[in-house]
Amino acid sequence: MKAGGKRDWIFIGAVIVLVTALHFLVLARHSPLVVLEELYYVPLLLGALRFGLKGALVVYVLVSVLHIPFFFGEWTASPIGVADRVLHFVFSGIFAFTAGFLVDRERRKREQAERERYLAGVGMAATTIVHDLRNQLHLILGYGLRIQKGKGDIDASVQVIVDSARSMERIVHDVLDFARPVRLELKEEDARAIVSRVRDLCAKKAEEKDVLLSLDLPAEPTLVMVDGEQIQRALVSLVNNAIEASDAGHNVVVTVARRKTHLVITVRDHGSGMDKETLERLFTPFFTTKKGGNGLGMSIAKKIIEAHDATIRIESEQGKGTEATLVVSYEDKRKTG
């Protein structure tokens, strides 16, 4: 079970205990406040909202068992009392089943819509990718033919061919990287060195857009157990996005900060920022708002980050900019498996 799921079960359990305590107080004091038992609808609703039909039914069984003492004693002294108790079981059962069923149906609908959007994205991305590859291929073919016919400057033609082939290689790499599982080669590395390499790799792009790319690094070595190449890849995606979202004159800052148990790397830009929909779909594979984007950068970055048991958080405000925060534990993951 995921940690979040466990926490929510504990919370629901605590609510049940609390309601039961109140309920039994009523029983012990022969108080007429039987209305307190209506509070059992709270954990039933929580179970349904969080865990769907399964959750609602589990809570129902639990709550029903806790309710059994009320079948004895004065509560069931008359036939009406018995009917009242039985109806209580029936109503809360109907409620649990209906709430759980509706939550599950809503979830299924949402998943279906998400799948459809994903497939539409895949279709669009496949078209974009094939177009990109075809454009580069045309360049290679065109300049190859020029060389063959002895036309134009050979060096310049060769450069175009090499650049186009590199660009094709990048596209192919992105698609393959997205498709295959991340395999980590963990090694102790200085985060400052990784971030410096990222700066070097992104410097040209920043310069072309007249964006100021700067680093804010600690003075001491900041060793961390990671696959440096992969973290570098993830950071390059984040920094490239930050540069692409920025206008001329804006700055993009990558910060490395040491905390007691973990390392925090942030990429901050003052560019376009994201609207709500973009923010929600940011990590959806093939989701892009860019002409010529493939929408894989953030998905690959997330895969890499999660493979490291690290986390990424994005805060963004439209018109103000975006901050991506990466939190990596210093812990040696090889020891903990």
Residues making contact with ligand ADP (CB under 6 A): 237, 241-242, 245, 269, 271-274, 278, 282, 287-290, 293-299, 322
Q: Which does 108 bind (CB under 5 to 8 A by kind): ligand ADP, Mg ion, none?
A: none
Burial of 252 (0-12, 13-18, 19+ CB in 10 A): buried
Q: Note whether 285 binds Mg ion by CB under 5 A.
A: no
Residue 11 CB, nearest distance to ligand ADP (Å)? 33
Q: How far apart are CA 91 and CA 37, in angstroms?
A: 12
Residue nearest to ligand ADP (CB): 297
- CB contact at 8 A, 234 and 301: yes
**Sequential DSSP letters for 142-211:** HHHHHHHTT-S-HHHHHHHHHHHHHHHHHHHHHHHHHHSPP----EEEEHHHHHHHHHHHHHHHHHHHT-
Residue 151 CB, nearest distance to ligand ADP (Å)? 35
- CB contact at 8 A, 322 and 316: yes
Q: Which does 164 bind (CB under 5 to 8 A by kind): ligand ADP, Mg ion, none?
A: none
**CB nearer to ligand ADP: pick between 43 and 271:** 271
Q: Note whether 322 binds Mg ion by CB under 5 A.
A: no
Listed in order, strand segments (DSSP E) in the chain are 187-190, 212-216, 223-226, 251-258, 262-269, 311-317, 321-329
**CB nearer to Mg ion: pick between 285 and 297:** 297
**CB nearer to ligand ADP: pick between 188 and 280:** 280
Q: Strands of 212-216's sheet, edge to edge?
A: 212-216, 251-258, 262-269, 321-329, 311-317
Q: Which does 272 bind (CB under 5 to 8 A by kind): ligand ADP, Mg ion, none?
A: ligand ADP
**CB nearer to ligand ADP: pick between 143 and 287:** 287
Site track 217-246 with Mg ion (rule: CB under 5 A), x = hit = ------------------------x-----
Strand partners, 251: 212
Residue 142 CB, nearest distance to Mg ion (Å)? 28
Q: Note whether 297 binds Mg ion by CB under 5 A.
A: yes
Residues forming contacts to Mg ion in the complex (CB under 5 A) are 241, 297
